[in-house]
């Protein structure tokens, strides 16, 4: 590339080489992406700028601008296509006041316009002015580029379709996160305000109960409550798997109940009673009953608890004389029994309750939200009634899990084989889905999971730091003995469940 005739000397460190159409591009290598802070780029340019650098430019035909320490020249005529952009409006400025409103500084001697903006993002905009192609570089933050486009007055609609979709997706994600974070901070501030006004008696007891239920870090009682919830979930999942074993299922079909069956029923009743108690306490202590009813985890709790009570009501129903007649009402009872079995299978949803205390499950939930297209390749099919036929080798849910894992990992021992046409169709679909999930979307899902985990981890660290700073400030403000005693009593009140706070702030599992 040749130097433009307007420059009489060799380009300095911060000058540039001229390309096609009279555009001047910087010599420096790619500058790392940093947050745009007013004054940083201009101060750096002043330190590295060579005072002897030539600035001989025909200003009637060309413009000389300095963005973040990099100098560019290009014809004024190029801006005729973009009259509403910042540079297009700068062309028609006639007074220093008008120029000052559009740029950060102006050198009257060289007629050089200074912009204290991100030079990496400006190279994308400069390429758009030169070639008419506006693209999102992989190493450039999409949100930062959107802010720069807004500053320079360039419509994102000029961007290529694929890049525009990525840009708008990231911008919408940031706006949604900021909205949820604002709502979370308002709710947290309101909660602290109400906590400061707690008096003795019923209100204080209600507040302490809410802390135990919602905040595992509030004390020993809160930790024990959270541990019991996790243990109950694990017991429920194990009980569900054991209940599908052939001997227990045969007893249920014949209407019999052995000692093992009674023990399983007692275990299930204890777990459901605990979940019902926890659900009731959360509902009573919820500040907004409507928001509580719309919470994903609360909906899962209700759906998982309800089948137990429905089955109790149906099983307690006395058989009428009409039903005792052979064949009378048999179809109705069979259908009702099938519905109850399907409802009981929903107990597996109790696993989602662990997301209240697990950053990994919260990350998984956020990944599923962002990777719905990739997860569309997965097919989950649950047919508990299919195991009731004795000639089938799929005798229970654990046995079906064994077959699915062995088949989808292309091992295929052949010990279990579907024989019916619908079963073969389901098996073929499951195996193909397993191959696809391993071959195509696995990489995309992994990157989404990694990015989501880093975001949630940063949110967790920020929440933890804010609460530590607030506690330190609260302790330093209390100077009297009575105030210090009050501070010691309430020092643990504001230590919220960070995982729950981060999940709520991201709108994953809002109670």
In-domain check, residue 23? yes
In-domain check, residue 388? no
Report the distance separating Cα 303 and Cα 132, nearest Å: 55
25 shares its domain with 126: yes
In-domain check, residue 335? yes
User: Last residue of some domain: 356, 381, 404?
Assistant: 356
pLDDT 10s digits, 36-45: 344 555 555 5
User: Last residue of some domain: 356, 371, 398?
Assistant: 356
Per-residue confidence band for 483, with pLDDT thresholds at 50, 70 and 90: very low
Query: Of 35-39, 276-280, 413-417, 421-425, which range is least confident?
Result: 35-39
pLDDT over 70 (residue 474):
no
Q: What separation in angstroms does the CA of 158 have from each of 124, 144, 153, 161, 232?
A: 12, 17, 12, 9, 56
Closest by Cα among 245, 290, 254 to 397: 245
pLDDT over 60 (residue 452):
yes
Show contacts of 200-207: CB within 8 Å, 24+ apart.
206/285
pLDDT over 70 (residue 183):
yes
Return the sign of the alpha-carbon dihedral for residues 382, 387, 391, 393. positive
Per-residue confidence band for 201, with pLDDT thresholds at 50, 70 and 90: low
155 shares its domain with 247: no
132 shares its domain with 49: yes
pTM for this entry: 0.45
123 shares its domain with 208: no
Q: In terms of residue numbers, what domain contains 343?
A: 198-356
In-domain check, residue 26? yes
- State the pLDDT at residue 69: 81
Q: Which ranges of 198-258 would DSSP assign to H, the alpha helix?
A: 202-214, 220-242, 246-254
User: Last residue of some domain: 100, 130, 159?
Assistant: 159
| Bridge pairing between strands 70-75 and 62-67 | antiparallel
Report, as an integer, the average pLDDT of 62-67.
Answer: 84
- State the pLDDT at residue 51: 47
Report, as an integer, the average pLDDT of 309-313.
Answer: 78
Higher pLDDT, 357 or 265: 265
- State the pLDDT at residue 20: 36
pLDDT over 80 (residue 270):
yes
Higher pLDDT, 331 or 364: 364
- State the pLDDT at residue 332: 58
**pLDDT more than 90, % of the chain:** 0
Report, as an integer, the average pLDDT of 264-282.
Answer: 86
DSSP E strand stretches across 344-411: none
Report, as an integer, the average pLDDT of 233-248.
Answer: 78
- State the pLDDT at residue 351: 66
Question: How confident is the prediction for the chain on average, in pLDDT?
Answer: 69
- State the pLDDT at residue 37: 43
Report, as an integer, the average pLDDT of 471-500.
Answer: 49
CATH number of the domain within which 130 lies: 3.30.710.10
Query: Of 125-129, 138-142, 387-391, which range is least confident?
Result: 387-391
pLDDT 10s digits, 344-397: 666 666 666 666 666 666 777 777 777 776 665 555 554 544 445 555 577 777
133 shares its domain with 257: no
pLDDT over 60 (residue 310):
yes
- State the pLDDT at residue 485: 45
Q: Do 73 and 138 touch, CB atoms closer than 8 A?
A: no
Higher pLDDT, 198 or 70: 70
In-domain check, residue 131? yes
- State the pLDDT at residue 287: 74
Residue 26, H or E segment = strand 24-26
In-domain check, residue 302? yes
Report the distance separating Cα 399 and Cα 412, nearest Å: 14
440 Cβ neighbours under 8 A, 6+ residues apart: 374, 377
User: What total of structural domains would you count in the chain?
Assistant: 2
pLDDT over 60 (residue 89):
yes
Q: Coil, strand, or helix at residue 376?
A: coil
pLDDT over 70 (residue 1):
no
Report the distance separating Cα 410 and Cα 281, nearest Å: 47
| Bridge pairing between strands 105-107 and 112-115 | antiparallel
209 shares its domain with 64: no
Report, as an integer, the average pLDDT of 155-169.
Answer: 81
- State the pLDDT at residue 2: 33
CATH number of the domain within which 247 lies: 1.20.120.350
- State the pLDDT at residue 282: 84
146 shares its domain with 215: no
337 shares its domain with 231: yes
- State the pLDDT at residue 374: 61
245 shares its domain with 110: no
**pLDDT more than 70, % of the chain:** 56
121 shares its domain with 208: no
In-domain check, residue 340? yes
- State the pLDDT at residue 199: 53
B/e letters for 215-245, b = 16+ CB within 10 Å, e = fewer, are bbbbbeebeebbeebeebbebbbebbeebbe
Q: Do 296 and 286 touch, CB atoms closer than 8 A?
A: no
307 Cβ neighbours under 8 A, 6+ residues apart: 340, 343, 344, 346, 347
- State the pLDDT at residue 423: 78
pLDDT over 60 (residue 416):
yes
Report, as an integer, the average pLDDT of 431-437.
Answer: 70
272 shares its domain with 139: no
In-domain check, residue 371? no
- State the pLDDT at residue 467: 66
211 shares its domain with 277: yes
pLDDT 10s digits, 14-52: 444 333 344 444 433 333 433 434 455 555 555 545 544
Report, as an integer, the average pLDDT of 82-105.
Answer: 84
């Amino acid at each position: 590339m040749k130097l433009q005739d307007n420059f009489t000397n060799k380009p300095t460190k911060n000058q540039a080489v001229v390309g096609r159409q009279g555009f001047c591009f910087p010599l420096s290598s790619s500058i790392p992406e940093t947050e745009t802070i007013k004054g940083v780029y201009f101060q750096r340019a002043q330190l590295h700028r060579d005072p002897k650098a030539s600035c001989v430019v025909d200003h009637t035909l060309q413009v000389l601008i300095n963005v973040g320490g990099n100098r560019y020249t290009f014809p004024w005529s190029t801006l005729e296509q973009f009259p509403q952009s910042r540079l297009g409006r700068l062309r028609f400025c006639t007074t220093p006041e008008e120029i000052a409103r559009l740029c950060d500084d102006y050198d009257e001697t060289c007629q050089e316009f200074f912009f204290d903006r991100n030079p990496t993002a400006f190279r994308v905009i400069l390429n758009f002015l030169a070639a008419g192609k506006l693209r999102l570089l992989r190493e450039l933050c999409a949100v930062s580029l959107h802010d720069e486009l807004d500053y320079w007055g360039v419509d994102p609609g000029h961007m290529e379709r694929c890049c525009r979709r990525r840009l708008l997706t990231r911008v919408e994600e940031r706006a949604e996160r900021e909205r949820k974070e604002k709502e979370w901070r308002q709710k947290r501030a309101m909660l602290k305000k109400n906590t400061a006004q707690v008096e003795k008696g019923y209100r204080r007891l209600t507040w302490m109960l809410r802390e135990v239920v919602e905040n595992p870090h509030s004390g020993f009682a809160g930790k024990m409550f959270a541990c019991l919830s996790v243990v109950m979930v694990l017991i429920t999942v194990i009980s569900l798997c054991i209940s599908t074993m052939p001997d227990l299922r045969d007893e249920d079909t014949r209407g019999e109940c052995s000692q093992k069956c009674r023990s399983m029923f007692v275990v299930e009743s204890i777990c459901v009673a605990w979940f019902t108690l926890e659900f009731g306490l959360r509902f009573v202590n919820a500040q907004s009953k409507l928001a509580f009813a719309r919470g994903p985890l609360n909906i899962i709790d209700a759906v998982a608890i309800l089948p137990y009570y429905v089955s109790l009501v149906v099983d307690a129903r006395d058989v009428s004389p009409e039903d005792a007649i052979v064949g009378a009402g048999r179809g109705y009872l069979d259908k009702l029994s099938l519905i109850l079995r399907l409802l009981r299978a929903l107990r597996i949803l109790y696993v989602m309750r662990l997301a209240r205390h697990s950053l990994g499950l919260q990350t998984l939930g956020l990944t599923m939200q962002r990777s719905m297209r990739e997860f569309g390749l997965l097919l989950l099919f649950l047919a508990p009634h299919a195991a009731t036929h004795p000639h089938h080798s799929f005798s229970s849910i654990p046995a079906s899990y064994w077959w699915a894992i062995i088949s989808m990992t292309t091992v295929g021992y052949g010990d279990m084989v579907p024989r019916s046409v619908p079963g073969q169709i389901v098996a073929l679909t499951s195996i193909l889905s397993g191959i696809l999930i391993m071959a195509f979307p696995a990489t995309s899902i992994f990157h989404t999971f990694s990015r989501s985990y880093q975001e949630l981890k940063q949110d967790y660290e920020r929440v933890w730091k804010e609460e530590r700073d607030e506690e330190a400030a609260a302790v330093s403000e209390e100077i009297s003995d009575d105030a210090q005693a009050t501070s010691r009593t309430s020092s643990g009140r504001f230590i919220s469940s960070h995982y729950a706070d981060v999940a709520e702030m991201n709108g994953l599992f809002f109670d």
